[in-house]
Structure 1
Amino acid sequence: MISDEDVRQYFKNKMNVPGVYGGAGSLQIGRGPLLLKGAPPGGCQRHKVVFNKFNVIPEFCFDCYKVLITPRTVMELFKLLMVFDGLELSGNNTRKCMVEGRADSEGSYKGFIYCRSIEEGKEVRRILQEIVAVEISPDVPVLLKRGCSEFARTHPRYAQIKPGKPIMPFPPSWKGHEDFVDKNYALEHNVAANSSNANPETKAKYPLSEIFALQYWLQYAATIGDISYLKIAGRVLPPIPQLKRPPLSLQPAKCK
């Protein structure tokens, strides 16, 4: 099992980079390919434009399944990132750790592993349940969900993947909205299909952008009253101005 001291030693040289605390940090750190296999140009940015403009879910997202891990403290989030750093999956699945910044989303700390079928999602969930139980805690929830929470709030049937219930198929009438966006919106297309979140040869060193994220996570924890950050930071940190998040709850986030 990864101990709190293991975390402190693993990250200690990254917590003292000058001029980082108090800056604009990132909410997430990713591993694996930046662009999911078979994704249209623009990736998730393009999918969100389609949804926000027309309130429809892109076809690609109907095969998107996520294994959701919900650490209860920032200490457990750091442990999950250590797990992700050493995780080897046959599909080299995209994965990320993050703190929740959306006002309409529950939970504070989350980890995601992206899968391209419900069968793959179930297998990856099984693997992660075993790893998380041993390395972090058997009490950390590991769930399987379909696509983004925003999609499920608008189209509740889309999120239903329980046994015995038919899975919502892609409505062909929605395809025209995707074609409109592809023809009329300028999206970022310069991410290669094999681009990675981190260079395997250097990821243990963590680039400055990820150090910003790590230190932002600690300030986020300080802001919501999660004192486990003190074991990593080694000192009291100021809260993040204007961060509007509820106080820490040890109840796991619901999978919507």
Structure 2
Amino acid sequence: MPPTSKIAELENWLVMKPGDLKSIRQLVTRLEHAPKAPGSAGRFSAAQEDIVTSLGADWRADLFEPEHMVEQYRAWLAALRNRGVSLAVPIGQVFSGRVLKVRGQNAYCGVFLDFFKETGAIPALCNDCYKVQILPHDLRAMFQTYALLLKLDLPNDNARKCMIELRDGIKFPYKAYIYCDTVDDVRACLQAFRDLQAKHGIEGISSKISHGCSEYGQKYPAFKFPETDDAPEFVPDPQWPAIEKAYFRSIKLPAQARDSNTREHVSLRDVFAFCTWVKYAELIGDPTSKAYAALRGPDLPQQFTKRVRSQAKIRRREMQELQNTE
């Protein structure tokens, strides 16, 4: 089915079932990279068009200034209200840059993590995954980090993302990553990010190099990126390749949907993510969320707010820990 046909089908379905969160998620995901639907297929498509037209000529640069970001957020929420979009799905991550590959191979992070949780084995491809880990100290710095990643000019257009942390036992509330597959590249990307941060005079953001997913380093501390020259070298279990081969023999991995996550505009999915970040920040007691939270975005499911509230004290402490390192 052509992308616009599926979008129209979902729009029509949501007229009848406006509370179907699964369909809302499918729709905003499809809208993000879909060609413009002729005649606007419905209220979600129309809201995205309004969001796009609200952007200034240099909208990426505007996002560096907190006051401008608040006003832009106000305009995006107005687009949702005007089109009758009153319910959002929680979206924690926003992506840009090329689609993630490691050594030229697609990286199926969710599938790889499931494999790790079931077997305790780290997929071989993950040994070559290095990341610039960026830790914004609060919501204001999170939005500035988002702007920095959009403006960051990298020779390989490395995959990158901003996210809120919802996993139990994984530290720090706000995060961003730049993905690399060599140590030289990750060091170059870290320096490029820090240079751009300094150029714009942005504070309240920590950054370092990390190796693979956080869960790997929790179980196998030697897997973490070494911070000293005398750190022990990680040696994978020699049985892991056979375990991995047997596990994935019967699993059909999806084809890559596109080559890049970079877009020339902010999408409806992005705005849902920003609403999610704002609610998250409000719930964990981040004082920089007040100007955004006062604007009252769309409703989010109670399951999300309950989950964040259960982590709120820990996230506040982690936020303060980062701020105390400055």
Amino acid in the other structure paired with 1:173: Q
**TM-score relative to the length of structure 1:** 0.85
Unaligned regions of 5+ residues in structure 1, if any? none
Distance 1:73 1:155, change over 3 A: same
Question: Normalized per residue, which structure has more helix?
Answer: 2
Distance 1:20 1:51, change over 3 A: farther
Quick check: 1:84–1:95 contact (8 Å CA) kept in 2? yes
Partners of 1:46 and 1:229 in 2: how far apart?
Answer: 33
1:250, distance to aligned residue in structure 2 (A): 2.6
Quick check: 1:4–1:231 contact (8 Å CA) kept in 2? no
Tell me what 1:183 maps to: 249
Q: How many residues align?
A: 247
**TM-score relative to the length of structure 2:** 0.68
Aligned pairs for 1:187-226 (under 5 A) are: 187=253, 189-192=254-257, 195-199=259-263, 202=264, 204=265, 206-226=266-286
Distance 1:114 1:176, change over 3 A: same
Amino acid in the other structure paired with 1:184: S
1:22, distance to aligned residue in structure 2 (A): 5.4
Tell me what 1:4 maps to: 66
Aligned pairs for 1:135-150 (under 5 A) are: 135=200, 137-150=202-215
What is the CA deviation profile of residues 106-161 of structure 1, one whole-angstrom value per residue up to 9, with x for unaligned ones? Answer: 11111111111112111111121222234363442111111111001111111142
Distance 1:171 1:113, change over 3 A: same
Distance 1:218 1:230, change over 3 A: same
Identity, in percent, stands at: 23
1:101 to 166, 182, 191: 166
Partners of 1:150 and 1:39 in 2: how far apart?
Answer: 23
Quick check: 1:65–1:146 contact (8 Å CA) kept in 2? yes
Tell me what 2:157 maps to: 92
State the SS of the aligned residue for 1:141.
strand
Q: Which stretch shifts more, 65-74 or 160-169?
A: 160-169
Amino acid in the other structure paired with 1:116: D
Amino acid in the other structure paired with 2:246: F
Distance 1:167 1:127, change over 3 A: farther
Quick check: 1:51–1:57 contact (8 Å CA) kept in 2? yes
1:14 to 53, 76, 79: 76
Of structures 1 and 2, the one scoring higher in RCO (CA 8 A, sep 6+) is 1
Amino acid in the other structure paired with 2:220: H
Quick check: 2:102–2:180 contact (8 Å CA) kept in 1? no
Quick check: 1:96–1:113 contact (8 Å CA) kept in 2? yes
Amino acid in the other structure paired with 1:13: A
Partners of 1:139 and 1:208 in 2: how far apart?
Answer: 28
Quick check: 1:80–1:136 contact (8 Å CA) kept in 2? no
